[in-house]
């Protein structure tokens, strides 16, 4: 605070007050977060962007992707086409906008990665290394979020209540890249004293974006096909149990982790995140409560082997203890919201509204 003598003339006092206000304003700017979201048009990014803009202000959350995002993203704050693989444009963007946090969400997901394994490995790993090196070189970057996945586990992993530390032998390109990524996260955190945080997401369910090529995306596909066509052919068998989470819970968990004081976090690689656990048959039965005529058939493809190698349920005790993780939406509540919202997208009246 600047002290003012009573004997100073009025114009001098006003000059001092102006200077103090200017200093305070610039000081506040130094502590203001500017957040970069890479992959803002994707399933997680499209919803995370909106929530972060509510918290930090629209002008402080920069959404980027290699494709055009939805209108709410583009018109609700700064958006730019940006390829995370272009490290020169990336660092220019970060420095120009004084970025302090990065959420790196871009990746080739499990099902699609198996179709283009070498290309998927290249995209997933090189994009990640660009972000990690950026965090190491640019002092303004204080925190990074990078998503891992239950794909890091493999067929030799205990499948029920899978612990955070266990046997991890993934047999998919996506899982191998995520496991390698976790090791790089811990290495950069310890070697360079960075603050990179990560969650092993289960299958995520959202009505705002359509499926993006993941093995757990059968659940989202089922809702869309039930509403549009009244039937669905599932690429997993009816008894395949997998851990899932409604997107609202996943977004809250992500932000909660990123806003937790670093001293409270005991994990330097990636935290487990559990939630729901259900089979395609159980989900279909729940959907039929809202769409009684819905029919489902099963025709497992190559993604069945991927699903069989993943856990059926997750132990997230450490996430609860370190940063207070919890989830709200059970299968019944999630299904009601999903059916209603997807019907709204296609102007189909909800049966209960008739």
Evaluate whether 106 touches 84 at the Cβ level (below 8 Å): yes
Contacts 24+ apart (CB under 8 A), 94-97: 94/36, 94/134, 94/138, 94/140, 94/141, 95/138, 95/140, 97/34, 97/36, 97/62
Q: What are the structure tokens assigned to 11, written together?
A: 């114009």
Strands (DSSP E) found in 126-248? 143-145, 148-149, 196-197, 199-201, 203-205, 231-234, 242-246
Choice among 62, 103, 174, 207 that is catalytic: 174
Indicate if 19 belongs to the active site. Answer: no
Q: Which of 234, 323, 248, 229 is nearest to 279 (CA)?
A: 234
CA-CA-CA-CA dihedral for 217, 223, 226, 228, to nearest 10: -100
| DSSP code, position 205 | E
Residue whose C-alpha is closest to residue 175's, from 45, 266, 311: 311
Q: Which residues are catalytic?
A: 174
């Amino acid at each position: 605070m600047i002290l003012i003598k009573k004997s100073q003339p009025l114009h001098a006092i006003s000059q001092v007050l102006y200077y103090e206000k200017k200093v305070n304003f610039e000081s506040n700017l130094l502590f203001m977060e500017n957040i970069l979201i890479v992959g803002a048009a994707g399933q997680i990014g499209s919803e995370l962007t909106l929530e972060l803009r509510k918290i930090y202000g629209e002008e402080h959350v920069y959404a980027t992707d290699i494709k055009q995002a939805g209108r709410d993203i583009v018109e609700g704050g700064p958006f730019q086409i940006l390829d995370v693989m272009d490290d020169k444009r990336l660092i220019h963007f970060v420095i120009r906008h004084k970025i302090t946090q990065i959420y790196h969400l871009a990746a080739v997901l499990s099902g699609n990665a198996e179709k283009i394994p070498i290309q998927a490995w290249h995209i997933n790993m090189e994009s990640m290394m660009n972000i990690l090196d950026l965090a190491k070189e640019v002092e303004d970057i204080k925190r990074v979020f990078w998503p891992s996945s239950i794909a890091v586990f493999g067929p030799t992993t205990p499948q029920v209540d899978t612990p955070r530390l266990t046997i991890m032998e993934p047999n998919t390109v996506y899982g191998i890249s995520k496991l390698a990524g976790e090791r790089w996260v811990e290495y950069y955190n310890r070697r360079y004293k960075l603050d990179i945080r990560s969650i092993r997401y289960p299958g995520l369910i959202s009505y705002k974006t359509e499926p993006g090529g993941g093995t757990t995306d059968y659940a989202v596909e089922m809702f869309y096909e039930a509403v549009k066509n009244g039937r669905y052919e599932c690429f997993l068998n009816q008894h395949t149990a997998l851990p899932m989470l409604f997107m609202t819970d996943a977004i809250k968990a992500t932000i909660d982790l990123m806003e937790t004081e670093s001293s409270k976090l005991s994990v330097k690689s990636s935290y487990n995140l559990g939630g729901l656990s259900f089979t395609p048959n159980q989900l279909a039965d729940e959907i039929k409560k809202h769409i009684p005529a819905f029919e489902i058939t099963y025709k497992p493809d190559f993604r069945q082997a991927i699903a069989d190698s993943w856990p059926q349920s997750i132990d997230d005790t450490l996430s609860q203890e370190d940063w207070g993780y919890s989830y709200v939406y059970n299968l019944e509540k999630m299904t009601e919201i999903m059916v209603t919202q997807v019907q709204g997208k296609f102007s189909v009246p909800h049966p209960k509204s008739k």
